[in-house]
């Protein structure tokens, strides 16, 4: 009977260590996904800024009145970052991160 209790304790200890290791592994995985998500968000912000500058440059070429020229020229030189970024489509990475955050 003492041998059975010892083996049961060893099995429970092994299960506890395995669960702890799995939890740490899951935390590292989620952390790496968060880093990738931040990189993806930065790419979308840079892409949006480039598109805004492209539109401003196009508008500068299409200007027909001299009164509009300074405003369009300033827009093509520097477009300020707007706090509201357009809604990006949910990527597989974003969906995976959302799934892990809810779990």
Contact 81, 49 (CB under 8 A): yes
In the chain, what are the domain boundaries? 18-102
| pLDDT band per the 50, 70, 90 thresholds, residue 102 | low
The residue among 88, 76, 77 whose CA lies nearest residue 48 is 88
CB-based contacts of 97, cutoff 8 Å, min separation 6:
30, 33, 34, 37
Backbone angles phi, psi at 89, to 5 degrees: -70, 145
pLDDT at 79 > cutoff 70: no
The mean-pLDDT minimum among 3-7, 14-18, 21-25, 48-52 falls in 48-52
pLDDT at 66 > cutoff 90: no
């Amino acid at each position: 009977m003492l041998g059975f209790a010892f083996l049961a304790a060893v099995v429970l200890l092994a299960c506890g260590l395995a669960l702890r290791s799995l939890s740490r592994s899951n935390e590292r995985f989620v952390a790496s996904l968060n880093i990738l998500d931040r990189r993806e968000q930065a790419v979308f912000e840079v892409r949006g800024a480039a598109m805004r500058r492209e539109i401003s440059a196009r508008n500068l070429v299409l200007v027909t009145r001299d009164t509009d020229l300074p405003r369009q020229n300033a827009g093509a030189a520097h477009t300020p970052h707007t706090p509201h970024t357009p809604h990006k489509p949910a990527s597989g990475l974003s969906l995976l991160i959302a799934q892990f955050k809810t779990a």
